[in-house]
C-alpha cells in the first residue's frame, strides 16, 4: 500500500452555485496570476464567458485557451510543449475529455491543475489517472491529482439529464468494486486499504440518502464522485472505484460496436455484477428506479450479443486483477440474468 505521507489531495474545493464565475478569485488567492485554459471544444460560449469574465475581473492573465476535441495521448503530447514556462496553473473546463487532457498536460508540465467540470458523468475529474486513447486504444495513464476542484452546481444541474444519470451509474459501481476488492483479499491475498474502501462505500450511501436532481443533489453527487477519486489516491490503486463492472465496460469498448456513455455501461454492469456477487442488487435497482436510470437506458438499449462477448473477455482485461469474474465461469449465470431479470432484459436486448 501507498505510504499515506505521499497522498496528494485537492487544496481548493468549492461546490456551490456560481462557482465557475469565482475561479478568478480562487486563482488570485493562490497566486495563479498566469494560467492556461483547456476546455471542451463544444463548450457553450455563455459558460466560457462566466469563467473568463471572472478571471479578467481579478487580473488573471489567460496565456492560452485551447479547445479539446478528443481525449487522446497524442493531443496531450501536442499541447505539452506549447505550455509557456511562466504558466502558474492549468484549468480544465468542460466535460471529461477536456478535463482528462488538461490533467495529463498539467502532470507533464508539473504545474497545479484546477478541474472545473460542467457535468458529473463520472469520477474522472478528481482522480490520479487520465483516461486517454493511445493509438486508438483506451488507456488509464498516471496523472496529477487536481490542486483544486470547482463544481458549479447550477451549471452541472443544467447539463443534460443523461450526464447526471451516467454519474449515478459510475457512482454505484463503487459498491461492486469494493466487494470485488474484498473477494480478491480472501481468494489471493490482495491487500485492502480499509479507509479507502470505507470512504468509497460511504460516498455511495451519502448520495442514496437523497438522490434528487436539484442543486443539493448535484452537490451530493459531485462530492461523492470527488471523494471516490480521492479514495483511489489514498490506496494508490483503482480498487475502491473500479472492479468487474469496469472490466465489462472496457470489454464493451474494445468490441467497437455502437458507443454508449461510460457511466451507463458501468451502471448496468454494476447491477449485473451485484447479482453475481449476491450483494447490493436491491440497493442499486431501487436507486435506478428512483433516478430514472433504467428508463434512460431502455431508450437506447444494449445488444445482448455484445454483452455476452464482453463478459467472456472481461476477466482477461487486467492481469492479476481478481474479481467475481475470476472466481468461476460466470457467463452462464450472467446469460440467465440477462434473459430473466426484469430490469436487464429491457436494457440488454436482441
pLDDT tens readout for residues 62-84 = 999 999 999 999 999 999 999 99
Question: Which CATH architecture is the domain 161-349 placed in?
Answer: Up-down Bundle (1.20)
Cα-trace Rg, the chain: 20
Place of cell 483503482: 238
- Look at residue 5 in the predicted model and tell me its pLDDT: 55
Q: Which residues contact 11 (CB under 8 A, 6 or more apart)?
A: 30, 147, 148
**d(C-alpha 27, C-alpha 58), whole Å:** 9
pLDDT band, residue 4 (cuts 50/70/90): low
Per residue in 115-139, pLDDT tens?
Answer: 999 999 999 899 988 989 888 777 8
Neighbours of 215 (CB within 10 A): 14
**d(C-alpha 178, C-alpha 68), whole Å:** 33
Give yes or no for a contact between 144 and 177, defined as CB atoms under 8 angstroms apart.
no
**d(C-alpha 97, C-alpha 72), whole Å:** 8
Per residue in 302-327, pLDDT tens?
Answer: 999 999 999 999 999 998 999 999 99
CATH number of the domain located at residue range(s) 4-155 in this protein: 3.40.50.1970
Per residue in 202-246, pLDDT tens?
Answer: 999 999 999 999 999 999 999 999 999 999 999 999 999 999 999
- Name the grid cell of 160: 443534460
- Look at residue 1 in the predicted model and tell me its pLDDT: 46
Residue 84 burial class via C-beta count within 10 angstroms: exposed 0-12, middle 13-18, buried 19 and up: exposed
Within this chain, domains 4-155 and 161-349 share the same CATH topology: no
pTM above 0.75, yes or no: yes
The domain limits of the chain are: 4-155, 161-349
- Look at residue 7 in the predicted model and tell me its pLDDT: 83
Give yes or no for a contact between 100 and 71, defined as CB atoms under 8 angstroms apart.
yes
Q: Which residues contact 224 (CB under 8 A, 6 or more apart)?
A: 171, 203, 204, 206, 207
- Mean pLDDT confidence for 88-92: 98
Amino acid at each position: 500500500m501507498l505510504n499515506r505521507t505521499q497522498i496528494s489531495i485537492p487544496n481548493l474545493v468549492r461546490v456551490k452555485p456560481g462557482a465557475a464565475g469565482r475561479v478568478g478569485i480562487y486563482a488570485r488567492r493562490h497566486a495563479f496570476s498566469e494560467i492556461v485554459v483547456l476546455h471542451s471544444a463544444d463548450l457553450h460560449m455563455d459558460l466560457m464567458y462566466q469563467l473568463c469574465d471572472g478571471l479578467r475581473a481579478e487580473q488573471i492573465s489567460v496565456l492560452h485557451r485551447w479547445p479539446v476535441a478528443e481525449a487522446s495521448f497524442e493531443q496531450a503530447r501536442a499541447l505539452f510543449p506549447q505550455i509557456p514556462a511562466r504558466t502558474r496553473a492549468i484549468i480544465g473546463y468542460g466535460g471529461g475529455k477536456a478535463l482528462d487532457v488538461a490533467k495529463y498536460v498539467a502532470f507533464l508540465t508539473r504545474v497545479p491543475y484546477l478541474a472545473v467540470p460542467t457535468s458529473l458523468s463520472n469520477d474522472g475529474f478528481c482522480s490520479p489517472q487520465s483516461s486517454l486513447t493511445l493509438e486508438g486504444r483506451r488507456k488509464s495513464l498516471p496523472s496529477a491529482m487536481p490542486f483544486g476542484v470547482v463544481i458549479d452546481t447550477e451549471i452541472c444541474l443544467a447539463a443534460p439529464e443523461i450526464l447526471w444519470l451516467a454519474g449515478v451509474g459510475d457512482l454505484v459501481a463503487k459498491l461492486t468494486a469494493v466487494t470485488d476488492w474484498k473477494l480478491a483479499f480472501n481468494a489471493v491475498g490482495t491487500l485492502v486499504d480499509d479507509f479507502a474502501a470505507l470512504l468509497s462505500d460511504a460516498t455511495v450511501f451519502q448520495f442514496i440518502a437523497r438522490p434528487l436532481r436539484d442543486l443539493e443533489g448535484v452537490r451530493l453527487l459531485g462530492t461523492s464522485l470527488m471523494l471516490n477519486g480521492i479514495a483511489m489516491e489514498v490506496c494508490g490503486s483503482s480498487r475502491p472505484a473500479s472492479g468487474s463492472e469496469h472490466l465489462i465496460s472496457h470489454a464493451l469498448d474494445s468490441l467497437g460496436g455502437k458507443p454508449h456513455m461510460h457511466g451507463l455501461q458501468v451502471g448496468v454492469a454494476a447491477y449485473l455484477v451485484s447479482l453475481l456477487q449476491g450483494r447490493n442488487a436491491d440497493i442499486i435497482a431501487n436507486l435506478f428506479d428512483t433516478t430514472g436510470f433504467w428508463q434512460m437506458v431502455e431508450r437506447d438499449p444494449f445488444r445482448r450479443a455484445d454483452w455476452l462477448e464482453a463478459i467472456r473477455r472481461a476477466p482477461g482485461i487486467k492481469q492479476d486483477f481478481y474479481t467475481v469474474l475470476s472466481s468461476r465461469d460466470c457467463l452462464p449465470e450472467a446469460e440467465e440474468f440477462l434473459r430473466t431479470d426484469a430490469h436487464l432484459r429491457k436494457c440488454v436486448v436482441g
